[in-house]
Amino acid sequence: MDLEQLHQLFLQYGNISTDTRKIEQDSLFFALKGPNFNGNAFAKEALKKGAAYAIIDEPEFQLDDKTILVDDVLKTLQELGTYHRNKSKAIVISLTGSNGKTTTKELIYAVLSKKYSTIATQGNLNNHIGVPLTLLSIREDTEMAIIEMGANHQKEIEFLSNLSRPDFGYITNFGKAHLEGFGGVEGVIKGKSELYDYLLANNGQVFLNADDPIQKEKLSHYVKKFGFSQTDGNYYTIKLLTAEPFVQLEFENITVETQLVGAYNFPNCCAAVVIGKYFNVPLEDIKKAIAAYIPGNNRSQLLKKGGHHIVLDAYNANPSSMEVALKSFAKVKAKRKVLFLGDMFELGEAAAKEHQAITDLAEKLGFDHVFLVGEHFADTRTNALTFSSFEDLKKYLLQNPLPQGTLLIKGSRGMAMERILDLL
């Protein structure tokens, strides 16, 4: 079966499944492989649970005409996603960056949805499997498709760009994330800029934060660009009014009060504003969309529990996002400020240096109490309370209940620092 025939089958049934625990009726089951499983072995179960067809790549698992044998299931899924994208009339906007990708994606989605039939990456399905699945969620009436692209090594954004083939692109920032895989900060800049390289080679349009010196330098000779700035009159002017604690911004004499905590969310809002402006979304609709957006999934959430005011930003962390979060928290007006920081992962040889730098910054900013959790933070030189594991922190808090205060909770996903909420 060639790609065109498979695509016709997909159009007929409309849904893709990759997990037999979540089989959708009359879907196409793609038997993907992982480190600890072989999807081919689940093809029979998928069909039994209601899948219309199973796409496999090992002949011994072929059952009948309901199993479709291909050379490589993953490659076929990726090729099908690109084929479907090319058949679609939707405008594709891809975005990547070290921090703020998902929040920015959701803000852009909120704004564009005010005027257009829009789809966007669900959750964090932003890798070599998630991107084609997102492309396959484009429907006949879809006008805008927002594709989030994540990466932790060189050439990954290049690969995902060739899959999604964007018409437009935006990079949130270049930070100290996945240093181990990218090979340092310069590697991060080079890797993320692969989106710029794709757009330049394919006459695409770039959106940019003109107050980011790296973006501005990278795109200095690029003609097809539309950006925002607080100070440079050559770009669309958006002003940060305050971020204590919620971001408030102004553009064209319109003030937007958001539900996002921290100045580091300002450029995320700006990207949504400027993309909405570019695509002629009415200014009042842009305002309404951004004002109504409420962050979730442990990202910059402002909560109250046990008498505490809590900034929960525990979805992920790296040295860049830690630094801006701490500096933003330092500006919050509160009588008693408490930090809970968990280890940052994937830093390679830079781990010890970067954890020490964050520890030093926390002490310099003068918070009332600092709790550092994880093996890396436990090895730092500090006057803060350190705990090698979350269990050690748990024992301490159960024996020493925390007086009421304003808390910032942040750490890499693997640290699951949101568990602290259950201890308050």
pLDDT for the residue numbered 175: 79
Q: 3-73 architecture in CATH? A: 3-Layer(aba) Sandwich (3.40)
- What CA–CA distance (Å, rounded) separates 278 from 274? 6
Domains in the chain: boundaries: 3-73, 88-292, 301-423
Closest CA to 80 of 142, 170, 177, 15: 15
pLDDT for the residue numbered 184: 82
Q: Which residues contact 126 (CB under 8 A, 6 or more apart)?
A: 101, 147, 148, 149, 150, 160
pLDDT for the residue numbered 35: 87
Q: Which residues contact 146 (CB under 8 A, 6 or more apart)?
A: 93, 95, 105, 108, 109, 112, 118, 119, 120, 121
pLDDT for the residue numbered 124: 80
CATH number of 301-423: 3.90.190.20
pLDDT string in tens for the chain (424-residue length): 899 999 999 999 989 999 999 998 999 999 999 888 999 999 999 999 999 999 999 999 998 899 999 999 999 999 999 999 999 999 999 999 988 999 999 999 999 999 999 999 998 899 999 999 999 999 999 999 999 999 888 899 999 999 999 999 999 999 777 777 788 888 889 999 999 999 999 999 999 999 999 999 999 988 899 999 999 999 999 999 998 889 999 999 999 999 998 899 999 999 999 999 999 999 999 999 999 999 877 788 888 998 999 999 998 899 999 999 999 999 888 889 999 999 999 999 999 999 999 999 999 999 999 999 999 999 999 999 999 999 999 999 999 999 899 999 999 999 999 999 999 8
CATH number of 88-292: 3.40.1190.10
The DSSP secondary structure of 290-357, one letter per residue, reads HHH----TTSSEEEEETTEEEEEE-S---HHHHHHHHHHHHTS--SSEEEEEEPPPS-GGGHHHHHHH
Largest Cα separation within the chain, whole Å, is 69
